[in-house]
Chain A
Amino acid sequence: MKTITPDRLDQFFSSLEPVWELRLPILLPDGTRVIGSLNDGPLALHGGAVSGKPTAAFFPQQSTLFTVTDGAMQEPPPADRPLFIVGFPPRDLACLRFIDRFFADGWRDDLYFRLRQRATVAGLSGYCGPGGSLISPAGGDCDLEFFWDRSNWLVTAYSETGRKIIAGLPETATPEAAELFLQVPAEFPDKNETLIRHASELLRTNRVPESFWAEIGDRCIACTGCNLACPTCTCFGVQDWRSAKKTERSRMWDSCQLDGFMREAGGHNPLGSEAERTRRRIHHKLAADPQKWGEISCFLCGRCDAVCPTGIGIIAVARELVARFR
């Protein structure tokens, strides 16, 4: 296990820039924390999960699929340098693992893997959660992991690339520090975990009446933020922009909370009411995905609850649902 002192972090990351395109947790001018470039704000590793889905690095809100100019098709050029992304707490790593499976299944999503395959991902854990709270280490699911022990960053590599990146760092000063990393339970039990499993169980056993979804749907303003902030939401729409000489096809994040998402050309819509769309949003994560993928696809990152203007993110809905129908 390696170690790095906080004062050497900037220098360490800068030294990687010739090879990697760096994306790190940064603090933007108004205090918003995101994964971004150091040109946009200072490094901000503390504070837990950043706002905005970290998986956007591989699946941006909008991306060009190809352009056709005078009959010749061109794909976007590959990036100059592969991505090196720091800032995935274990829950975000779980999200990434989930969408890696999703995008690889059946036809493989070339656009996603063009960015994902070359990328190096670093986890973030230790006493760097909100207010200095503990984030348990992931212990894998990434190339390397940074663990804040309240004085230094302990760094462990899980892949060959990870080992190469941290090769030049000194070994951990004290065995106690390394011990601390290992001692922290790998599981992260929390009450939301229990809650979401309970909600999933209620849905799968069909114990939630339609009237509940009508009530929640009444509070949905169709902002689509829940989907756009969710690291495991993968739906996208496709558009063509045509001008005299060029056609550009791109894709953008879509949302199952929109009427147009499922509306058929003739106008019929199997998800034609807010109640049905809201039901689908929660069902998909808590009932359909466990059936298809063997796991609930909400990893409790809290982003949909944070962006929802009316308080009906998945954790809030699960809480109401469990309180009323358990």
Chain B
Amino acid sequence: MTRTLTVCPYCGVGCTFYLVSDKGRLVGVEPSTTHPVSRGGLCVKGWNAYAFVHHPDRLTTPLIRRDGQLRPASWDEALNLVVERLQAVQAKHGKDAVMFASSAKATNEENYLLMKLARAVFGTNNIDHCARLCHSSTVTGLAETFGSGAMTNSISCFDQTDVILVIGSNTTEQHPLIGSRILNAVRGGTRLIVADNRRIRLARHAELHLRHKNGSDVALLNGIMHVIIAEGLADREFIAGRTENYDALAESVADWTPERTAAATGLTADEIVAAARLYAGAERAMVVFSMGITQHSHGVDNVRCIAALAMLTGNVGRPGTGVNPLRGQNNVQGGCDMGALPDLYSGYQKVADPRLRDKFAHAWGVSSLPAEPGLPLTRAMDAASEGRLHGMFIMGENPMLSDPDQGHARKVLENLELLIVQDIFLTETAAVADIVLPAACFAEKEGTFTNTERRIQRLYKAVEPPGKARADWEIICDIAERAGYNGMRYTSPAEIMAEAASLTPIYGGIAYQRLAAHGLQWPCPDKEHPGTPIMHLDRFTRGLGHFSPVVHRLPAELPDAEFPFVLTTGRTYFHWHTGSMTRRTHLLAREEPHSFIELHPDDAARLGIRHRDMVLVSSRRGEVRTEARVTDMVIAGVLFMPFHFVEGAANALTNNVLDPESSIPEFKVCAVRVEKMP
């Protein structure tokens, strides 16, 4: 019986636990009792995180498509073919005809390497990952207003705050160990505002539950700011000393009276005034948000409003305050930090800056690096259908299920000249690939993940990968070598981190021997630096905090006579994204075995739909069959559907309309029709 400390592979909270193994097989998990985040607890996914690792569906050998069938191949054959075909596509269509999709499930070291492979070896900035689909709006919005796109405070701050505003985050389900802290804080006297029209668990504990219309967050936040200014609740000293452009903000919210806000949001004027007084009246207030804010065609605007609200009340740079975007994946923060982004190197260093290009080129031993920012992941499908992109290398992502407008995504992926997928299971995307590379999962390799509070933590290898599967970092290095590049020879992930740290100022002080059991929080610029639990203490990363006034825009597609319902999509507590791991975990799969759609009892009665009836849901993009769940979780006129299930895939319905600045799709609002299956 052996115990190996590691970091949970699911959400961004970053709980640690021990994997228990016996004769090379995982047999369970045991929580860490000393970890500052999980404090001896775990959520249901964490408790079951061992269970998919030895599943018989694991990929165990490279596969190459021959005569239309994926057939086993040797690593030599597969990797030579990867290089040969990527180079052939580039020779035929240009360097930027290929795209690399990195993974928020992979380690920091692997994200760093894939970004290096794309840029230094294949000469393209076409590198991105699923942060594009979750918090790209946050990164863009907070970079502009604060100078840094990450969670400003630490998870421990939930124990030290007076008021928490949760907007667009189902925290107990999606970040359960943070949601639990919020529940505990409320029992200890912290006051809670939930702004989300689903009756999520936190809403049952909230002093105010604001069930505003989908896509009306800008109106709501502008309305709240209007009241704060009108009632003299703004922190004048903070505004004067720490911020700029306040007058423009004040002017932009001047018209957002409670009455106008009520009309735009579907709330009452009293609710808006109450929320403003509660939040602004607190000595310390935190805002928590997630996909309900970011996944809109105006996601960046939503984030700008949140940043403004926090600055307006002086709720930045102190314990128990801050703007706290909860990152979804275990390492989506790290994927961004490591520069798996089309316009940024690691540490958010711009590829457009010639000085930085020179720095990276010199370190990587190449003569030059591409200067033009690459394609965001969400524009890749359109680029491919327009003939500008011909090959994709996808590491640990499953866009066939996770991208909006599945019909379009399927057509593009199937028609690519070259599709290479590196993953742990034969996902829906891998199933249409030309070459499939079997990867090790979190329990089978070393590396680091960075959690939502910027804590960089080590994972340790507990068991061997199945069959011929190899760690992502080893595969990437092998590809680089075969492509004729000799600058990726590492004996361990620690060496990769040493290189990344030397080029990434916010990770400058990160070294494996310093991470011990509980890691370090960036910014950590040098080897003596203790890490940074709270950012923007005396000054914002950009200097002064910037108020960015925002004009309210409606979602791109609203209900009409033909498609009379708003569909909003998301996840359930028991599954992770496209279900490749959780649908192969017995207890989790049993809990939510199939696709469903939430429907308000009034709507159900009107349409003659009963609980558990099969229904047909259609949008302008497609239609799916699913099971009706009649519940007051949703408000009348709004439907909710999780996107985990290949049968009854929510993303067959969603709208691939993007925020113009962050390129995030509007997963949270599209128009659909629902009818009972005959």
Contact = CB atoms under 8 A, between A and B. Distances in A.
A5 interface: no
B590 A260 contact: yes
A211 to B, nearest CB: 13
B205 A31 contact: no
Contacts of A52: 30
DSSP majority for the B interface? mixed
A186 interface: no
Nearest to B16: A30
A62 B586 CA distance: 11
A246 interface: yes
Contact of B590 (A36, A40, A222, A237): A237
Given A309-B180, A311-B187, A34 B18 contact: yes
A52 B29 CA distance: 9
B67 to A, nearest CB: 20
A310 B41 CA distance: 9
A33 interface: yes
A241 B466 CA distance: 15
A95 interface: no
Identify the interface centre among A246, A254, A258: most chain B CB within 10 Å of its CB.
A258
Interface in A11-48: 23, 28-34, 36-37, 39-40
B415 interface: no
B661 interface: no
Contacts of B573: 221-222
A228 B172 CA distance: 19
A318 B57 CA distance: 44
Contacts of A56: 28
B362 interface: no
Contacts of A144: none
B542 interface: no
DSSP majority for the A interface? loop
A242 B56 contact: yes
A254 B180 contact: no
Interface stretch (B43-51, B109-117, B385-393): B43-51
A31 B51 contact: no
B1 A31 contact: no
A260 B27 CA distance: 22
Interface string B27-61: 11111111100011111101100110001110000
Given A28-B3, A63-B27, A252-B587, A307 B34 contact: no
B205 A218 contact: yes
A234 B593 CA distance: 24
Contact of A30 (B32, B46, B55, B612): B32
B177 interface: yes
Contact of A311 (B43, B184, B586): B184
B586 A239 contact: yes
B34 to A, nearest CB: 4
A219 B184 CA distance: 9
A33 B41 contact: no
Interface string B1-35: 11101000000000010101010001111111111
A32 B32 CA distance: 6
B85 interface: no
Contact of B180 (A39, A221, A224): A221
A31 B34 contact: yes
A308 B28 contact: no
B3 A40 contact: yes
B27 A62 contact: yes
Nearest to A36: B3
5 tightest A-B CB contacts, nearest first: A61-B28, A30-B517, A309-B180, A243-B56, A309-B41
27 contacts: A31-B33, A32-B18, A32-B31, A32-B32, A32-B33, A37-B2, A40-B2, A40-B3, A52-B30, A60-B27, A61-B27, A62-B50, A218-B201, A221-B173, A221-B179, A222-B44, A225-B41, A225-B47, A228-B47, A241-B55, A255-B587, A258-B44, A258-B590, A307-B40, A309-B181, A310-B180, A311-B184
Interface of A: 23, 28-34, 36-37, 39-40, 51-52, 56, 60-63, 218-219, 221-225, 228, 237, 239, 241-243, 246, 248, 252-255, 258-260, 267, 306-311
